[in-house]
Structure 1
Amino acid sequence: MRPGDDMRSSIVQQIARQALATFRSGGCVGEASRCFPEQQSKLRALLTEVRAADLRLVVPRAEDAKHPYHGSPPPVTYMHICETDEFSMGVFLLKRGASIPLHDHPGMHGMLKVMYGKTRITCFDLLDKSPLSGASTGEPQSGSLRRSVLRSTGEYTEHSGPCVLAPHRDNLHRIDAVDGPTAFLDILAPPYDPDDGRDCHYYKVVPEAAREAGGPQTPQDHGSEVWLMEISQPPDFWCGSEPYPGPGVGL
């Protein structure tokens, strides 16, 4: 910890160390391993307890939170805390009305814990391993259709437990700021690495494909099927960076 950090601030260090224990290589990582559920449970418990003050985040004042995002500064910013070969940890901050578009985490685990505000997280699972051509929908040939299912939708606040993502469950998700700005602590394991097959892909719901297949054009309930198309990063979304003000992490 940095000089002057109090004992409560050490929860950030505890989370980092527990993330390392949970996702380290050597046989522990993976939902089928014996120790993974126990280590993951410990990490979830720590994340449930952490608050914005532990990371020294400045919660927007009520009057400031009323101003919507109009598209000039980045709609989303990121505070980097730490990264190892096993996991990365940082804070995403979304302005009022901002969203992180539907995207995936190939072969990765994830945990999101809201620090302030209200966050809506909508999760999908892919049902088909192999994509279909997008030609039948009139979309560009570079797109690919994926049969998917709406797995979960939930709203989270600082009093909620973490949202947990797995390589094959709730892996694709969209994140929306609800009724004001929001921020969440984010852990990904292992980190994104395009050279190792872990690049971020963006998707959109394709109503035309659902109509041709005789299904609902938009996901109605949890478990309902929907067609997703891989797209380029939406032009109205980009992520800036800002300094992390909280206690340091040593691993």
Structure 2
Amino acid sequence: MPRDEMNSLIQKIARQARLTFRGVGGGPEGHKSFSENVGQLRKLVGEIRAEDLKIRPRKNGQAPISVPHNPPVTYMHICETDCFSMGVFLLKGGTCIPLHDHPGMHGMLKVLYGKVRISGFDKVVDAPAPAGPKEPQFQPPLLPYQRAALRRAVLRSAGEFSDSSAPCLLSPHRDNLHQISAVDGPAAFLDILAPPYDPDDGRDCHYYKLLQPAPSSSSSPAEPAGRPEGDGPHQADASGLHSREVWLLEIPQPDDFWCGGEPYPGPKVTI
């Protein structure tokens, strides 16, 4: 590898990601060395810019001609190991990555260009959906087979982020479900997931639909006002954003969402 690539910022990020997430597993967020390593990784990721990866903003949000079918979202793969994966997502203007989860995974996201809106949710564990008279009524009503796919969750955070924002974090238990929407044009972000998705190891991606209870229900969710500043979704609570219980329905991957692939043009990364 050429010396300039060995010392590139993205190579340093990959080395720190491997050090941070090697052997992590489920989530010792409180462990001192893990927290320190996350802090160092976050510092490095916060310095990355689109030009460091030889990525240029696309004014019209279109994928290159080499990408077939013009998907709403494309992915540039950078590297993957057993303990983490890293790549860049590019969103066309007006598109979004639907609400989805990251089972047992940590994540870090840094906007490279454009602006995105991120809504983060936490699952309410060990709290089955109520049945009978206490079950919330939705509009339209749920079909019988859908009741088993109903999930309780908490709307934990919501905000808009640009290339000047600090990296956003998720953990196995915090902001683990999120939706990412491009705002006012195309956007791109660096994405690190640890460990990577692996259906054979119980880490498959599931999609969800936010349900709105009928007006007669007392559990109607409310969209929070305001937006967090600086450190991403985790600052939302400190900024006065109150958690709201919501209802989610697990659904198949939406028909209008698919992710294409395109070559990564930046410095080579070796792990």
Mapped pair 1:165 → 2:170: yes
Partner of 2:252 in structure 1?
232
User: Within 1, Cα distance between the matches of 2:125 and 2:186?
Assistant: 35
Structure 2 matches for 1:172-183, cutoff 5 A? 172-183=177-188
Partner of 2:10 in structure 1?
12
User: Within 2, Cα distance between the matches of 1:149 and 1:28?
Assistant: 21
* 10-19 vs 134-143, which moves further: 134-143
Q: Give CA-to-partner distance per residue, 1:158-214, whole Å, 9 cap, x none.
A: 111101001100000000000000000000000000010000000111113x75651
2:111 to 111, 114, 122: 114
SS of the counterpart of 1:141? helix
Q: Is the 8 A contact 2:158 2:224 kept in 1?
A: no
Partner of 2:120 in structure 1?
123
Q: Is the 8 A contact 2:27 2:106 kept in 1?
A: no
Partner of 2:238 in structure 1?
none
The CA RMSD over aligned residues, in Å, is 2.5
Mapped pair 1:192 → 2:197: yes
The one-letter amino acid paired with 1:170 is D
CA 133–229 in structure 1, closer or farther in 2 if over 3 Å, else same: farther
1:96 to 76, 93, 97: 93
The one-letter amino acid paired with 2:194 is A
Identity of aligned residues (%): 59
* 123-132 vs 213-222, which moves further: 213-222
1:75 to 72, 77, 81: 72
Query: What is the total number of aligned residue pairs between the two structures?
Result: 241
The one-letter amino acid paired with 2:249 is M
User: Within 2, Cα distance between the matches of 1:162 and 1:243?
Assistant: 24
2:31 to 33, 38, 41: 33
The one-letter amino acid paired with 1:88 is S
CA 76–211 in structure 1, closer or farther in 2 if over 3 Å, else same: same
CA 27–242 in structure 1, closer or farther in 2 if over 3 Å, else same: closer
Pairwise CA distance, 1:32 = 3.0
User: Within 2, Cα distance between the matches of 1:103 and 1:154?
Assistant: 17
User: Within 2, Cα distance between the matches of 1:158 and 1:50?
Assistant: 9
Partner of 1:138 in structure 2?
142
Mapped pair 1:57 → 2:55: yes
1:215 to 213, 216, 219: 219
TM-score normalised by structure 2 residue count: 0.81
Pairwise CA distance, 1:144 = 1.2
